[in-house]
A and B are shown apart, each in its own frame.
Chain A
Amino acid sequence: MQHSNMAETDGAAPAKRAPAIWLFIALDCTSFGVFFLVFMVQRLGQPVLFDQSSQHLDAGLGFLNACILITSSWLVAWANIAGREGRIDHARRLLLAGMAVAACFGVVKIYEYYTKFVAGITVATNEFYTFYFALTGIHFIHYVGGMVILGILAQGPSRYMPEAMAKASYARWLEGGSLFWHMVDLLWIFIFALLYLIGAR
């Protein structure tokens, strides 16, 4: 019984399933879309509070973080191209460079949180800051997850699988990981616009 279904399945199945990561990305973006919508609806009820609170955020740091993630995304996109062309060592170096740049995002974000806590601003301060900490916090979790994925990809293909299988699997994971990282980048651009720019003078 054990391998009764294998004959009909060997071959195209993995390639067919690779774009499934798109579904996860679409769902993730949709749920962020819902959060953004709820944010905008709540904002309509108390625009003055939201505008005043938004002015306490440092748009310069938000913009810096957007630049950091776009640069990192660009390096990861190049890593993806190198991986597809079989230049694995080059891809790994580009991934490491992408991670090094992206590490600055974490430093800036933690600094921002620190300045808020020092100023006595917490998640309970008002509804704007509830959203600020929720949206940036959930995004930060995505960022950490993305960094872990990039870190694993930077190790290169598995050394324990047969070479051809390892390379095919690596190419799929590299594409999926890169797509996820671009999503992290894209979401930050929306969060930056929504929290830092709307209401800022």
Chain B
Amino acid sequence: MNPYRYARALAWTGPLLLIGTIIFWGVLGQNIPPYSPALGAEEFAAQIREHAAQIRIGMIVQMPISVMWFTWSVAMWQVMRAIEIENGSNQVLSLIQLFGGAFTTIVFILPCSVWLAVAYRPEVMDPKTLQIMYDFGWMFFDMAYSLTTMQLIAWGVCMLQDRRAKPLTPAWAAWFTMFVVVSFLLLTMMPLVYDGPFSRSGLLNYFYEFGAFFIMWIVVAAYTLKAITRLEQEHWATNAAQ
């Protein structure tokens, strides 16, 4: 049996989720950028009430599609497993990556449910309650970064271990990815400030961090698809008779 059956479909769930996230989490969810923590509770509540319907639609769709982060992680796991088997069957990195992917899926889903609750009946809720719920969603979303960092460091290290003359993933892509997920450390500043570049909607902790994350997402998605094509070609070249 082709060991890469389903792999291409799974690998496409990465770019699909990226597009879905931009539309449902980003545009409809009012997260480009998110509401500033510097807003007063009343002003914040007024914004939420005005956009409640679209935020609800955004989160209702974003929650189920977020599972694609996990299916995409399984595609990455298939590429990693191929490299690890060739290198002597130590499958620690692919295991870490897969668990990291599963946990990161929760980081997508749980905050969306919180923001959905914020947009559920904001007209009868106390503004301060709405604000703390919204803050909680963002604290979880931003500060659980170590799960994604763990996942993609494992992926990057594994890609660097590929001993092919032309590796499945070039070294620059592995280093770039590891750099982006290590730079999430900057988010440490997010819960300490209410305004400025380090806040959740600020220049560094939103535009820079999320910009880098989305570029990294495209890079990893593109090389996962390419790697699966090459692994399938290698498989059929050595198993042509089957």
Q: State the A residues within 8 Å of B (CB).
A: 1-6, 8-10, 13, 17, 20-21, 23-24, 27-28, 31, 34-35, 38, 42, 123-124, 127, 130, 133-134, 137-138, 141
**Are A38 and B197 in contact (CB-based, < 8 A)?**
yes
Those of B175-214 within 8 Å (CB) of chain A: 175-176, 178-179, 183, 185-186, 188-189, 192-194, 196-198, 203-204, 208
User: Contacts A23-B171, A24-B178; is A138 near B185 (CB within 8 Å)?
Assistant: yes
A2: B residues at CB distance < 8 A: 85-86
User: Are the C-beta atoms of B185 and A9 separated by less than 8 Å?
Assistant: no
In the assembled complex, the Cα of A10 lies from the Cα of B86 at a distance in Å of 12
B174 surroundings in chain A (CB, below 8 A): 20
Stretch touching chain A among B62-70, B91-99, B140-148, B160-168: B160-168
User: Distance (Å) between the CB of A12 and the closest chain B CB?
Assistant: 8
Q: Name A38's closest neighbour in chain B (CB-CB).
A: B197
Across the A-B interface, how many residue pairs have beta carbons closer than 8 Å?
A: 77
Q: Can you list 25 pairs linking A and B with CB atoms under 8 Å apart?
A: A1-B235, A4-B86, A5-B234, A8-B165, A9-B165, A10-B163, A13-B163, A17-B160, A17-B171, A20-B160, A20-B172, A20-B175, A23-B172, A23-B175, A23-B179, A24-B179, A27-B175, A28-B179, A31-B208, A35-B204, A42-B197, A130-B193, A130-B196, A130-B198, A137-B189
- The 0/1 profile, CB within 8 Å of A marked 1, for residues 9-29 of chain B is 000000000000000000000
- A5 to B165, alpha carbons, bound, how many Å? 9
Which 10 A-B pairs rank lowest in CB-CB distance, beginning with the nearest? Answer: A20-B171, A27-B179, A9-B163, A23-B175, A123-B192, A24-B175, A134-B189, A4-B238, A9-B165, A38-B197
- Residues of chain B within 8 A (CB-CB) of A5 are 86, 163-164, 234
B163 with A6: CB separation less than 8 A: yes
Instruction: Report the minimal beta-carbon distance from B162 to chain A, rounded to whole angstroms.
Output: 9
Q: Mark B90-114, 1 if CB is under 8 A from A, else 0.
A: 0000000000000000000000000
Which of A5, A13, A21, A42 gathers the greatest number of chain B CB atoms within 10 Å?
A5
Partner of B176 from the list A23, A42, A141 (CB cut-off 8 Å) is A23
Q: Return chain B residues, CB-CB under 8 Å to A130.
A: 189, 192-193, 196, 198
